Structure 1
Amino acid sequence: MHFIVILGALISLSFTSTYLVASIRGRVKPNKITWLIWGIAPLISTAASLSTGVSWASLPVFMAGSGPILVFTVACFNKAAYWKMGKIDYICGFVSILALVAWYMTKNPNVAILLAILSDALAALPTLIKGWNFPETENGFLFLGSLFSDLSHYP
């Protein structure tokens, strides 16, 4: 079981590294709001998991959060990775953060899951719009890697 968890984490790391390099070189221009929210939610989940005694199973969730935080950080400090955000970006980011707060505040696991999914989807919307309108600013390779990484967690 540990092998599959580690394999998923390595796959996630390799694809995130590819996207990071593309961002550093200015070949992709990440939407900061999307990547920040995609990083925050899994890191909150990781902290919650670790506080309940979960160990190895937290690794894929941690990787799902740390990669986006690295992408967000590079996007903030690398002028070549700059993407101007508009009104829809901020609205989706704000509502996504509200969903995260509500997720944290709820004591109902089903509601928390629903709100976490809503937050993730709302965070993705600005990047989907940007990728559709300006495909040269994105790299589908990372998203393909995320799919493989997520699938590696299922027996």
Structure 2
Amino acid sequence: MDSGFKLAFSGLAIALTFVAFVPYIFSILSGATKPHVFSWVIWGTTTSIVFFAQVEAKGGIGAWPIGVSGAIAVFIAFLAFVKRSDISITKTDWVFFLSALASLPFWYLTSNPLWAVVVLTTVDLLGFGPTIRKAYDAPHQENILFFTLFMARNVFALLALETYSLTTVLFPLSVSIACLILLIFIGYRRREVRA
């Protein structure tokens, strides 16, 4: 595919990242949303490490949207801390965080970023568990637009990759599929709850 298309897809993915996150950030600043600080530390850490792994695996401009997303997630963690949002930290939170950090020795010992991406993708996908549980109980409380934008963002990030390998593709493809499954599940539960 032409490099101009790749740049356009990367630009679209970055734009969708901002479209998804900017309203969320404003809701934090206004006090309407109180995110869990440690969740965002974990997501910021995992996404940032995946970005560096994709860069090493020659993902090129297709890695940029993941890097932007990682930076924004770290910023949200900072806002959550400053605004004194939910700062309670459970044992499960520590397990997720330590799992994310465990990816670094895998990468170092194997000299292969794939192992870091596999661990981080697994941790990120496990993070969908509580959202799926919540969507089952209260499907109308989930933001369909947010997950639709993130699914689209990851599709465009995939299209923008300069090199396709398991290392560069695994994270955005897995998150896209997880978002799609979640959207289908939310739609199904909303029809069920209404009936």
TM-score, normalisation: structure 2: 0.61
Counterpart in the other structure of 1:2: 7
Counterpart in the other structure of 2:116: 112
1:29–1:83 Cα contact (<8 Å) kept: no
1:39–1:69 Cα contact (<8 Å) kept: yes
Alignment pair present for 1:22 and 2:19: no
**Superposed displacement of residue 59, structure 1:** 1.3
**Superposed displacement of residue 15, structure 1:** 0.9
1:30–1:127 Cα contact (<8 Å) kept: no
One-letter amino acid of the counterpart of residue 152, structure 2: F
Q: 1:59 to 1:102 in 2, by over 3 A?
A: same
Q: Which moved more, 1:43-52 or 1:56-65?
A: 43-52
One-letter amino acid of the counterpart of residue 24, structure 1: L
Which of the numbers 45, 53, 60 marks the counterpart of 2:65? 60
2:53–2:116 Cα contact (<8 Å) kept: no
Structure 1 unmatched ranges of 5 or more: none
One-letter amino acid of the counterpart of residue 148, structure 1: A
One-letter amino acid of the counterpart of residue 21, structure 1: F
**Superposed displacement of residue 152, structure 1:** 2.2
**C-alpha distance in 2, partners of 1:17/1:88?**
28
**C-alpha distance in 1, partners of 2:43/2:108?**
15
1:23–1:29 Cα contact (<8 Å) kept: yes
**C-alpha distance in 1, partners of 2:29/2:109?**
37
Q: How many residues align?
A: 154
**C-alpha distance in 2, partners of 1:137/1:29?**
15
**Superposed displacement of residue 28, structure 1:** 2.3
CA deviation map 1:66-100 (0-9, x unaligned): 12111111101013x33533332233323333245
One-letter amino acid of the counterpart of residue 9, structure 1: I
2:42–2:96 Cα contact (<8 Å) kept: no
TM-score, normalisation: structure 1: 0.73
**C-alpha distance in 2, partners of 1:73/1:131?**
27
Identity fraction in percent: 21
1:40–1:65 Cα contact (<8 Å) kept: yes
One-letter amino acid of the counterpart of residue 36, structure 1: V
2:57–2:113 Cα contact (<8 Å) kept: no
1:35-74 correspondence to structure 2 within 5 Å: 35-50=40-55, 55-74=60-79
**C-alpha distance in 1, partners of 2:57/2:118?**
21
Q: 1:139 to 1:27 in 2, by over 3 A?
A: farther
